[in-house]
Amino acid sequence: MHSANLRFSNQVVLVTGATRGVGAATAREFADGGAHVYLTGRSEAAGQQVAAEINASGGSACFHRLDVTSEASWQTLIDAIRRDHGRLDTLVNNAGVHQTQSLLESTEEDFYQQVNTNLKGVFLGCRQAVPLMTASLADGHYANIVNVSSIAGLVGTASQSLYSMTKGGLQLFSKSLALELAPARIRVNCINPGMIENDMGSHLVEQLVTTGVFDNEQSALRYLHKQIPMRRFASVTEVAAAIAFLASDAASFITGVGLPIDGGLTAG
């Protein structure tokens, strides 16, 4: 059940990377709050399935395939939203790629893959979305951009130098854009998730086993839980709820923040 300040009735929300995990949970969160949600991603089948599930449960959603690294792809999508709804209230830049390797193992291709998706994709999305947001703002209403960074953008992490570089850049991009767009009544915030019960969390556990650090997944998971003060990973719904909060009227005077969702991992 959503409070009045977490309702998104008649709003239009765009969530990138929404075919699974945090993105899919975020799309469902906004749809449950009354928004019409545009889901994007690379997998047509997975995206259509998430949209169908939302619609079957009484929500409103549609899937559009999007290459976040292509300005033409972004423009086609924003033009469709303008044509169909004439407005865009919230953009959630969730699409991203994650690779784990040392500096000397990293290639120029690895560099561009992470920079193009994690930074260029967000830049292009904001540049295409902001004019529609500005044109469709009602009196007293704020539009929202929520960028999904990582705690790797707050603290250094071994063997994740490229990923940390992009997520740290996204953190400061969000803060700077918040200052730039505040007079236009567009709030820009960023979340910094820690370890999550999703594919990335599972990959980290698997990596600790395959590299011989631990003998089995249970031992690896126990070790990772001990690094977190709350002794567990976040669920995707907890991350989605934080995104929805930052885009809601409950956060109407919040802009330019980077919100860790990490169970206290970076508190010390």
In the predicted model, what is the mean pLDDT of residues 82-86?
Answer: 96
b/e for 115-146, b at 16 or more Cβ within 10 A?
bbbbbbbbbbbbebbbebbeebbeeeebbbbb
Per mean pLDDT, which range of 39-48, 179-188, 228-237 is the poorest? 228-237
Task: State how far the Cα of 264 lies from the Cα of 32, in Å rounded to an integer.
Answer: 28
Contact 94, 16 (CB under 8 A): yes
Rounded CA separation 192/149 (Å): 5
Please give, one letter per residue, the 3-state secondary structure of 129-159: HHHHHHHCCCCCCCEEEEEECCHHHCCCCCC
- Picking from 14, 38, 16, 23, the residue whose alpha carbon sits closest to that of residue 199 is 23
pLDDT (mean) for 188-200: 85
What pLDDT shows up at residue 1?
41
Mean predicted confidence (pLDDT) in 117-133: 98
Threshold 0.75, pTM exceeds: yes
- pLDDT for the residue 211: 66
| Residue 34 pLDDT | 97
Enumerate domains of the chain plus CATH numbers: 4-196+235-261 (3.40.50.720), 198-233 (no CATH)
pLDDT tens, position by position, 235-245: 999 999 999 99
- Per-residue pLDDT at 41: 95
pLDDT of residue 119 exceeding 90:
yes
**60, 31 in Cβ contact below 8 A?**
yes
Angle at alpha carbon of residue 95, lines to 204 and 176, rounded to 5°: 110
pLDDT band at 212 (very low <50, low <70, confident <90, very high): low
Predicted confidence at residue 130, as pLDDT, reads 98
Average pLDDT, the chain: 91
The residues that are catalytic are 163
The answer to whether 78 and 134 are in contact (CB under 8 A) is no
pLDDT at residue 209, as a whole number: 64
> Span 66-88, mean pLDDT?
97
Most confident region among 105-114, 131-140, 154-163 by mean pLDDT: 105-114
* Dihedral sign, Cα of residue 60, residue 189, residue 118, residue 208: negative
3-class DSSP state for residue 268?
A: coil
The number of beta carbons lying within 10 Å of the beta carbon of residue 210 is 10
Residue 198's pLDDT is what?
A: 65
Average pLDDT estimate for 92-103 = 90
Question: Residues 246, 259: contact at Cβ < 8 Å?
Answer: yes
In tens, the pLDDT along 143-182 reads 999 999 999 899 987 778 999 999 999 999 999 999 999 9
